[in-house]
Structure 1
Amino acid sequence: MKHTLPCLIAFLLILAIPPAWASPRVDLAVVDRASGQWIASMRHRGQQWIEGEPGRSYAIRLTNTTGRRVLVVLSVDGVNAITGETAASAQTGYVLEPWQSTQVEGWRKSMRQVARFVFTDLAHSYAARTGRPDNVGVIGVAVFEEARPSMWEPPVAYESRDDAARASSAAPAREESRAQSIGTGHGPREWSPAQRTEFVRASTTPAETTELRYDAYDALVARGVIPRPYRVASDRPRAFPAEFVPDPPGGDW
């Protein structure tokens, strides 16, 4: 049985030229809002990682690399970025038109505003402050393709957001014992308009899921994601860096 949900049309930047051999269906990237630059990802033990700097606001860039509409359910720290529910793939998400790219800049507060995504210490993350710290440190998308219209299919029953919320999803097991050091906070509100639409999913399970993990620099070094800095001999402190006593600032007494 196909399902339909009220979803949001993400606000909008249509790419002029679709990429060739598009894979995955939706490209997931994170943008540092201070610089406007994408945060480079690093691969480590089969996972993609980025460095998050506490206090920095960021946006999540979603790009539909296909010629069909797709629904993207966006999870930040295990929380649905639109509804604030503990994330499950059956929930509402953003609808992207063919070849469309958009930036999601925060937790959706209304059809007109979001609260900025901002890297912060774990205790001040939105997930931890709402009693859900177990999945802090991961951004994920579940992508659904749209059902093709068919003349013989019966009308599809409307599924409300409350109905979608009843779907459950097992929390992913934490594969590492090392503690997460930062999360995503609930920053200041800002203007970010969207509008509702409907989307009939081609299946009840996602066509694909993508995860992108993050942590602070020191934590990434400790995890082995970033190599430990190598100190050359000239960087070592010296007990006798000069032969004589230099004059103090301002000269003699």
Structure 2
Amino acid sequence: MKRRLFSTVLALTALAACADSPARPYIPPTPTNAIGTLMQISVVDRNNGIELPIYFYRGEYWVAGRPGARYAIRARNVMNERIMAVMSVDGVNVVTGETASTGQNGYVFSSRERGDITGWRKSDSQVAAFQFASAGNSYASRTGRPDDVGVIGVAMFRERMPEPPPPPVVPYSRRGEYGADREQREPSSSMGDARAKSSADSAVAAEAPAGNLARPQAAPSPSLGTAHGRRENSYVGKTTFERARSSPDDVVRIRYDSRENLIAAGVIPPEPPPRWTRPSGPSPFPGSDSGYVPDPPRRY
């Protein structure tokens, strides 16, 4: 009985010492697969059809690409209305090939529609596949625009709905009342325009600092870009779309690089070391006897 009590005291003391240790295990953030409000945007590895994990690190969203792998930008419209998505890769509009701007052409998604954008649009029936490659072999670099390699952008616009017809004008019995009413309504309209302009200016100002964030330093391998891959069939049609306003209603920005570079930059936590396994050869702890040293057997 005394021996068992003594062993219990030793074990409890050891556990208490471990609990008081300042060292705490690192718990990495849980990555997501899609981001966005009007539309859910994700990046799909076309070799296996799996959506790549999206990591959030220091105000930026990141995905890890694999050199040579084809990928697609997957967009899910979560609204009960049409949404226009202007998409860019490495600072280049994926439809027109122009240096990207939010006022350019894009794809229109119907209510609750999902679609994969698989490449640079070449015609109504073909695209050149998106393919991860070294930054120097990216389409943007090869066309003289290397400054924004390594980022995917989607600007989303809601559609302008037809305005209802104005209510019928009821004539006032006295001219003075009608004039006074008109004078009261006009300033409120101009004030609303000023508020709308101020709101739009604030939105632009809020988006501006995002482009100033520095890229990871001392990357162990070449940075990734998106190449102009092989031609593939992809059919689209044309439609008309009037934006509800000139500035985007939502903008998604996803940066990408190789897994090795993202681990080195701290975006992706390093993989934990492998668990201890019994080495080959003699083991220092082959058994689990918790007693004391027994006497050896007698010699014969």
Shorter-chain TM-score bucket reads 0.7 to 0.9
- Distance (Å, rounded) in 2 between the aligned partners of 1:69 and 1:97: 5
Task: Indicate how the Cα distance of structure 1 residues 25 and 217 shifts in structure 2: closer, same or farther if over 3 A, else same.
Answer: same
Q: Does 1:176 align with 2:218?
A: no
Say which structure is richer in strand: 1
> Matched residues in 2 for 1:142 and 1:125: separation?
22
TM-score scaled by structure 1?
0.74
For residue 87 of structure 1, report the CA deviation from its aligned partner: 0.4
Task: Name the structure 2 match of 1:80.
Answer: 93
Higher helix residue share: 2
Shift of 1:152: 5.8
Question: Are 2:112 and 1:99 equivalent residues in the alignment?
Answer: yes
Where in structure 1 are there 5+ consecutive unaligned residues?
A: 1-21, 154-169, 244-253
Partner residue, 1:70: 83
Deviation at residue 46 of structure 1 after TM alignment: 1.8
Structure 1's consecutive aligned runs of 4 or more residues displaced over 6 angstroms after TM superposition are none
- Please name the residue that 2:63 is paired with: 50
Q: Is the 8 A contact 1:23 1:65 kept in 2?
A: no
> How many Å separate the matches in 2 of 1:79 and 1:27?
21
| Mapped pair 1:219 → 2:261 | yes
Deviation digits for residues 170-214 of structure 1, max 9, x if unmatched? 893342362670000000001000011110010000001011111
Please give the secondary structure, in 2, of the residue aligned with 1:63.
strand
- TM-aligned CA deviation for residue 23 of structure 1: 6.0
1:114 is aligned to 2:114: no
Deviates more, 1:37-46 or 1:185-194: 37-46
Give the 3 Å change call, closer, same or farther, for CA 105–202 of structure 1 in structure 2: same
Write the mapping of 1:143-154 to structure 2, written as runs, cut at 5 A: 143-150=156-163
CA drift at 1:231: 3.8
- In the alignment, is the contact (CA less than 8 A) between 2:128 and 2:231 conserved in 1? yes
Change in 2 beyond 3 A, CA 1:200/1:59 = same
Residues 177 and 31 of structure 1: is their aligned pair in 2 closer, same or farther, counting only changes over 3 Å? closer
Alpha-carbon distance in 1 for matches of 2:116, 2:266: 30
Pairs within 5 Å for 1:1-253: 24-150=37-163, 172-176=211-215, 178=217, 181-231=223-273
TM-score, L = length of structure 2: 0.63
- Hey, what's the Cα distance between the residues in 1 that align with 2:117 and 2:215? 29
Amino acid at match of 2:77: N
Q: Separation in 2 of the partners of 1:209 and 1:233?
A: 43
Distance in 2 (alpha carbons) for counterparts of 1:52 and 1:103: 17
Whether the aligned pair in 1 keeps the contact of 2:216 and 2:265 (CA below 8 Å) is: no
C-alpha spacing 1:130/1:136, structure 2 compared with 1 (3 Å) = same
Structure 2 distance, partners of 1:217, 1:47, is 16
Number of aligned residue pairs: give it.
Answer: 203
Deviation digits for residues 71-91 of structure 1, max 9, x if unmatched?
A: 100011111000001100000
Report the equivalent of 1:5.
none
Q: Provide the rounded CA distance (Å) in 2 between the counterparts of 1:232 and 1:177.
A: 27
Rg (Cα) greater in structure: 2
